[in-house]
Chains A and B, each alone.
Chain A
Amino acid sequence: MAVKLLLDKAHIEGIRYYDTWRKNGGYTAVEKALKMTPDEIVEEVKKSGLRGRGGAGFPTGMKWSFLAKPEGVPRHLVCNADESEPGTFKDRYLMEFIPHLLIEGLIISSFALGSSATYIYIRGEYAWIPDILEEAIAEAKANGWLGKNILGTGFDCEIYVQRGGGAYICGEETALIESLEGKRGNPRLKPPFPAVQGLWMRPTVVNNVETLAAVVPIINMGGEEYGKIGVGRSTGTKLISACGNINKPGVYEINFDLSVEEFIYSDEYCGGIPNGKRLKACIPGGSSVPIVPANLLFKTAKGETRYMNYESLSDGGFATGTMLGSGGFIVLDEDQCVVRHTMSLAHFYNHESCGQCSPCREGTGWMYKILKNIEYGKGKMSDIDLLWDIQRRIEGNTICPLGDAAAWPVAAAIRHFRDEFEWHVLNPEESQT
């Protein structure tokens, strides 16, 4: 049986509301945490081995311990609910259906980090979710879990929800901070990391929705117990949002010892591919991670079973592996055209580039144009090499990783599906439709 730590109560009728949440064990983690010292909480999170669920997988406890604490300067916790990576819709599920889990996580984390004004930055298009969150916040406040002198600890805390304006780049933490300050979402150079200079140049921790929700089971069960669940450095559980050509798209909480094959074919998860079609390829961690062909998805290049965890998915590096990323799991069946899919993603990154760095601003535009030519039968063989060259020149040469995120999918598509690009060049008539 798979262990569930986040969605274990998601099926309970009315769990969105405070009374039901509380009756089912809600807010016990806050009660417990507020009897601990902030440092003890950070220690538990460190012991748990929790890694950031926003995609980068950076150890959360370590990030928290890097938070600068200059005398007299307020600190902030910011919850990253910008969720815009194509294929990713897990944070939405948490906020929509079990908002109190996130609010609990936010109260505990705010206490641990010393944030008395905590902000949830949510993508503007999730326009109905702020109402749900604000209702949960009001319920928590009415029951004494937020506001002044919480549980007699002397700790004050308010949580505010802010909507974005529609910009993928505002999920990048420094762009998010700029946006929260009322500016364009232009990423800042790191370092300094937000932990030193973040919101209004104050020390700030930015964490993903799912990361902060995971703090609740960590406190409830203890960091050490949490750390025992999982495989190696992939501890706890992970939400995966599955989409594309599968029978049962949706959000699943998985254990890290689940094989990729079982995830796709088991009825408990994706339920296989519709209409008996064959699997062609998969992008397992959101659009920014490399696409892998079916033959490298279930088994690594070494012939070992591939599992749904950080290490196993990236086994083989970019040559034969991919990444867990944000957990946006995109499945392509045999009828799909990899060139067309890659073109669509190139359009996405070009549209979303903030325009600060020329390799990203210009390169993503060129990649889209060339891919469009190839897709519509107007490409040349040399375009494929040109495309390869452009992506290589973007990678690693930009302020933020959006450039890399645009380059990797193109590189992986050419690496594994060069024959499809060539087919389009050689068969212009058939490509034009």
Chain B
Amino acid sequence: MKFSQEKLNKVNEIIARYPEGKQKSALIPLLHIAQEEFGGWLDVPVMDYVAELLHINPIEVYEVATFYTMFNMKPVGKYVLEVCQTGPCMLRGSDQIIDHIKNKLGIQAGETTPDGLFTLKPAECLGACGYAPMMQLGKFFKENLTIEKVDALIEDLKAAAKN
């Protein structure tokens, strides 16, 4: 398990943004890259590798990785549906969207479907309250959701996974 040369160049470019000796500042950006590269979650060897790249102790990586909600500490599905459940989204029907996904996929919050395709991860306010209900899917937001849009999205993702 190693970053490609291209990713290593990116890593070095990120480390260079900080003053000499302050390379630890690059930790969160590196964890994002590592999670993307190595299967959507941070296994212990992955965190150890990041520690090595930054010349810091593994424990310094573990304590940071576990603090931030975007880092997954266990395997997740191919698609993580992160539906916002905070007040402003609730006012516009996020509860119904979450219930619908649970029923449709037969999973509870935090669980992954047996085929490994979908994980439902309820999220707290994602800064899209005016376009609620909404979810984060990978890098982007899906906004102004309806039951129909969620159904269509899940079908699309299933089809995409087959190809």
Contacts and interface: CB of A to CB of B under 8 A. Distances in A.
B24 A168 contact: no
Contact of A164 (B28, B63, B129, B136): B28
Nearest to A241: B130
B68 A251 contact: no
A117 B18 CA distance: 8
Contact of A184 (B17, B56, B63, B91): B63
Interface in B129-158: 129-132, 136, 138-140
* Band of interface residues on B: 35 or more
Nearest to A244: B91
A180 B54 CA distance: 15
A165 interface: yes
Contacts of A87: 87-88, 125, 129
B53 to A, nearest CB: 12
A165 B90 contact: no
A242 B129 CA distance: 8
A185 B64 CA distance: 8
Contacts of A179: 28
Interface stretch (A1-9, A35-43, A313-321, A337-345): A337-345
B127 interface: yes
Contacts of A20: none
A238 interface: no
Contacts, number: 145
Nearest to B87: A344
A243 B88 contact: yes
A217 interface: no
B52 interface: no
A119 B14 CA distance: 12
A250 interface: yes
B68 A128 contact: no
Candidate in B29, B67, B123 with the most chain A CB atoms within 10 angstroms: B67
A123 B70 CA distance: 10
B128 A183 contact: no
Interface of B: 17, 19, 22, 24-29, 31-32, 54, 56, 60, 63-64, 67-71, 85-88, 90-92, 123-132, 136, 138-140
Closest 9 CB pairs between A and B? A165-B68, A249-B130, A166-B70, A182-B27, A182-B24, A166-B69, A243-B129, A86-B125, A184-B67
